[in-house]
Structure 1
Amino acid sequence: MTMESFHHTLPDGHQITLPRFENVPMGIVRKTRRMTAIDQIFTILEELLSESDLEHIDKLDRAEFNDLSKKWQETSSITPGESTAS
């Protein structure tokens, strides 16, 4: 298991750092296991990011948010809705 983090610079220049999906703590995975993919992503972000980071996320338009989500998922070996046992 790699412990590398995902780093992403938002359009406003703010940089966020997230763990790869496979490194999201199991407690968060458990809380989100029955949610839709979009609810999973927002819940995971709310659990992992600071209020300052979330304020920057809130300013993204849909295309910018989708870009962030897509790039985050591409750096990981699993995506929301998929367990590590899959």
Structure 2
Amino acid sequence: MAAAAHRAARRTLTRLADDLAQAEELLERACHDVRGANLRSADLTHLYLGGLRCDESTRWPEQQREHIRTASDPVDGIRQIRDR
């Protein structure tokens, strides 16, 4: 009986750990994906942009465009801003 309860608890914990790992991955993607975003009016002056993923449809503030272009690399058909 104790062994069965232990196995059930282990399966539950394993599922919870898997769910948490998936949630973490989705949150990571959501926090770094600005593809298609219109950021033209955003004040990005003091923000760390490393890791952001953007594409040709992302609209950056005029003063940031050149920096974004030179500080990013193509990755899987999009661009990712390099970590400093």
Structure of larger gyration radius: 2
Normalization by structure 1: what TM-score? 0.24
Normalization by structure 2: what TM-score? 0.24
User: Which protein, 1 or 2, shows the higher relative CO under an 8 Å CA cutoff with sep ≥ 6?
Assistant: 1
